[in-house]
Amino acid sequence: MLEKLQGVESRFLELERRLSDPAFLADRDAYSKAVREHAEIGRIVSVYRAYKETDARLEEARALSEDGDPEIRALAREEVAALSARRGELEQELRRMLLPRDPNDDKNVILEIRAGTGGEEAALFAGDLFRMYTRYAEDRGWKVEVLSAHATGVGGFKEIIARIQGRGAYSLLKYESGIHRVQRVPVTETQGRIHTSAVTVAELPEAEEVDVAIDPAELRIDVFRSGGPGGQSVNTTDSAVRVTHLPTGLVVICQDEKSQLKNKNKALKVLRSRLLDLKIQEQERRRAEERKSQVGTGDRSGRIRTYNFPQNRVTDHRVGLTLYRLESILEGAIQELIDALVVHFQAQALQHESSDGS
């Protein structure tokens, strides 16, 4: 680890020299790239330098802990204990910072929410979850754009797909994928019985054309007249688009826009992100086979979180975290949950990194 950190610091110093050279400013692309890299590794270098300073002070304190003066010896041993703990914290932080970075972390997100078991109640909760993620995104200054929606008559969604645009959106939302379970008394329940329903959430990194190449020959594109809510102008033209990716069988339908071209572009954006997600899942599957356990993604096929209305409780089953403030969470206050998940999966990655290196 220390050899890696020495290399990072050398690279940091090299970038500082280049950025201070006026001639380097002429190449704008190279200069911008160097500025970003300098800022990114600067955080690591800052912690590394704190680690080196703490380590040097620790050696001095250890030397003083053998001093002939009992008072100096006692003070030095107290400092040794404090500095040892601090060095351990900095070392753990450095190990975390040196973990391989997910190349998709800075991407925007394609959010897909689908009602599962529970009928209309599941559709209503799908709407609740969409509002939760929308509020969270807005609080962070991100932009939310609905790409496709299949609304129900009472305010819910059988399915809704949206694009969340913001730096680092995927790095924070990627652990939200999975089955979200709700326990509450439905508005249609006359006897006050608690029902359990489920909604599936998928948070996909938005794929660019350079990430996933789609051969037009592998697509079947059908156009048809839009159905459902939308007004006369939507429903009287063949503006809806269904795109089928023949090799995988993936199907995307977009009908929210009046323009057939806009619906096609939205559908291709969603399709591209789904194909990138398939690629990521395949990479994760291969890594899981190599080390016999999966690291870095939530289990999409299992229940990840329960929202219990009678108890005002939200429980994330992967990290064992329970919060008794369901209302604020559904209003977008989910950062505590996200932070706990990031720490959990980073700790797992550190554990496997250590075992792989041993």
Q: What's the confidence (pLDDT) of residue 119?
A: 85
Cα–Cα distance for residue pair 111/129, rounded to 1 Å: 11
Residue 70 shares a structural domain with residue 155: no
Burial of 88 (0-12, 13-18, 19+ CB in 10 A): exposed
Cα–Cα distance for residue pair 4/100, rounded to 1 Å: 12
Q: Is residue 29 part of a domain?
A: yes
Q: What's the confidence (pLDDT) of residue 264?
A: 85
Residue 123 shares a structural domain with residue 239: yes
Cα–Cα distance for residue pair 358/356, rounded to 1 Å: 6
Residue 80 shares a structural domain with residue 117: no
Q: 206 with 197: CB under 8 angstroms? A: no
Residue 63 shares a structural domain with residue 154: no
Residue 56 shares a structural domain with residue 117: no
Residue 131 shares a structural domain with residue 274: yes
Residue 27 shares a structural domain with residue 175: no
What is the number of structural domains in the chain?
Answer: 2
Cα–Cα distance for residue pair 106/206, rounded to 1 Å: 10
Q: What's the confidence (pLDDT) of residue 291?
A: 41
Q: Is residue 14 part of a domain?
A: yes
Q: What's the confidence (pLDDT) of residue 232?
A: 40
Q: Is residue 103 part of a domain?
A: no
| Domain-terminating residue out of 68, 97, 126 | 97
Q: What's the confidence (pLDDT) of residue 80?
A: 92
Q: How does pLDDT run across 83-106, given as a tens digit for each residue?
A: 999 998 898 888 777 766 777 888
Distance of CA 79 to the CA centre of its chain: 40
| Domain-terminating residue out of 97, 129, 160 | 97
Query: For a pLDDT cut of 90, what percent of the chain falls above it?
Result: 35
Query: Sign of the CA dihedral 205, 141, 98, 36?
Result: positive
Q: Is residue 149 part of a domain?
A: yes
Residue 188 shares a structural domain with residue 134: yes
Residue 68 shares a structural domain with residue 203: no
DSSP conformation letters of 43-54: HHHHHHHHHHHH
Q: What's the confidence (pLDDT) of residue 305?
A: 96
pLDDT, mean of residues 123-151:
93
Query: Could you give the C-alpha distances from 257 to 146, 147, 223, 240, 264, in angstroms and in order?
Result: 10, 9, 13, 8, 10
Q: Is residue 168 part of a domain?
A: yes
Residue 189 shares a structural domain with residue 333: yes
Q: What's the confidence (pLDDT) of residue 78?
A: 92
Residue 310 shares a structural domain with residue 261: yes
Q: Is residue 154 part of a domain?
A: yes
Domain that holds residue 132: 109-350
Residue 84 shares a structural domain with residue 156: no
Confidence at 270, pLDDT banded by 50, 70, 90: confident
Q: Is residue 104 part of a domain?
A: no
* pTM exceeding the 0.85 threshold for the entire prediction: no
CATH number at residue 141: 3.30.70.1660
pLDDT, mean of residues 233-245:
71
Q: Is residue 152 part of a domain?
A: yes
| Domain-terminating residue out of 74, 97, 120 | 97
The lowest-confidence range among 2-11, 55-64, 122-131, 298-307 is: 298-307
Q: How does pLDDT run across 283-338, given as a tens digit for each residue?
A: 667 655 544 433 333 334 578 999 999 999 999 999 999 999 999 999 999 999 99
